[in-house]
Structure 1
């Protein structure tokens, strides 16, 4: 157990680049189009990342996956809206990837094929703090010959950013099939992003966007009590995630 915990901590530390402080602060030059593009980028960056197969965690008894993960979201840091934020006094340049280390808990209920999840993370060297919640229902639980299929609903929100409120709602359909220690999965989802400007520097209208997202991943079970999940999410802004779990 000690080695597992040390390994998980190393994954988390390695996901945190040493960056100068960059807060999400809207400058007076920020336009409505800038705010819309920022909403899209941040919304997709904080949208719920499943990092799980379509199979239910629970069975006759409840089961839990508890782990650390990191999501790296590729952004166009040369875009005008990111450049304007990086030029705010006290900020540094925006990196090309927004990295979000997280702690993730999923609980599989007994008997019924429903999983509940909660995730919390902070983007290092920024004022972004992230919380997400999910409910997953495995329509088909899968077997030795048939795949599992699941529906998921999720909600995420950001705190710590004084200049805007932003949250997402999402729904996705996923499929997975286990082969020995590997369980690949794939899915398609919709993300609804809502943001509200709260800055004293500008007056902008609220934004509500709808985005499509595809994702593929694979769960690798090393031992009965330990597994790793890798996932790629493809949308207007792409994300890549890695998760290490203790399962019990």
Structure 2
């Protein structure tokens, strides 16, 4: 786990100037659409969490790192980045349990290479809370927005279903959903791009008392993302 976290953080460091996006006006509309597809894959919400509810007193606080393998790194380079194939993103993520099998979550992420930040929030409901025999099932809605970019407005909304089953301290999970992303250029010559992408993901959570670790692989659109998190869950 520690090696993977180090690798993901190294990827984010390597990609620290890969998303300046200072030259959007030099892209064609087709290239902007390709760039927008990669941004939806890389920037849309990733919970990195199993499907069972935390409970009224439950918290999940963690540092996370995600590396997304871009489909069009050359377009990213033309937009003002360095053209690295891996786009790294660090996050601070917090989940809180509520009554009625509800959970809320939120994250903050500085976007490497940009004077911008990414914010996201989710609401999750678990109609099946899980048992010794049955898995837990939850429905999740999430929203992500980019703030501070001079040339781009971006936001994305997720609708997902998650199934998880615990085995002592180990809890694997799988999920699927849809992501709707909108990229609005703040430069002339380009039109807004709004698109739907399918999302599939699988992960595993390991809880060692208060200390918690998780890994997740995500396929949103045509790009794969690899995430790891470490923190406290109770």
Give the TM-score, by structure 2 length.
0.90
SS in 1 for 2:35: helix
5+ residue gaps, structure 2, are none
Equivalent runs, 1:136-147 vs 2, <5 Å? 136-147=124-135
Cα separation, partners in 2 of 1:13 and 1:38, compared to 1, 3 Å:
closer
CA positional deviation for 1:74: 0.6
CA positional deviation for 1:122: 1.5
Contact 2:15 2:86 in 1 (8 A): no
Distance in 2 between residues matched to 1:131 and 1:197, nearest whole Å: 19
CA positional deviation for 1:16: 4.3
CA positional deviation for 1:76: 3.7
Find out whether 1:67 has 2:62 as its counterpart: yes
CA positional deviation for 1:161: 1.6
Contact 2:184 2:191 in 1 (8 A): yes
Contact 1:106 1:115 in 2 (8 A): yes
- Structure 1 counterpart of 2:165: 177
Aligned equivalent of 1:211, options 176, 197, 201? 197
- Structure 2 counterpart of 1:130: 118
SS in 1 for 2:26: coil
CA positional deviation for 1:125: 3.0
Aligned equivalent of 2:13, options 17, 26, 41? 17
Aligned equivalent of 1:82, options 76, 79, 84? 76
Equivalent runs, 1:82-121 vs 2, <5 Å? 82-86=76-80, 93-110=82-99, 112-121=100-109
Distance in 2 between residues matched to 1:63 and 1:11, nearest whole Å: 30
Contact 1:77 1:95 in 2 (8 A): no
Q: What is the RMSD of the two structures over their aligned residues, measured on CA atoms? A: 2.1
Distance in 2 between residues matched to 1:151 and 1:207, nearest whole Å: 27
Distance in 2 between residues matched to 1:12 and 1:76, nearest whole Å: 18
SS in 1 for 2:76: helix
Equivalent runs, 1:44-55 vs 2, <5 Å? 44-55=41-52
- Structure 2 counterpart of 1:247: 233
Higher share of residues assigned strand: 2
Which one has the largest radius of gyration? 1
Cα separation, partners in 2 of 1:118 and 1:78, compared to 1, 3 Å:
closer
Distance in 1 between residues matched to 2:135 and 2:111, nearest whole Å: 35
Find out whether 1:155 has 2:148 as its counterpart: no
SS in 2 for 1:48: coil
Distance in 2 between residues matched to 1:20 and 1:65, nearest whole Å: 27
Contact 1:98 1:123 in 2 (8 A): no
Distance in 2 between residues matched to 1:97 and 1:15, nearest whole Å: 6
CA positional deviation for 1:128: 4.1
SS in 1 for 2:40: helix
Deviation by residue 1:174-193 (Cα, 9 ceiling, x = unmatched) = 10000111100000110001
Aligned length: 228
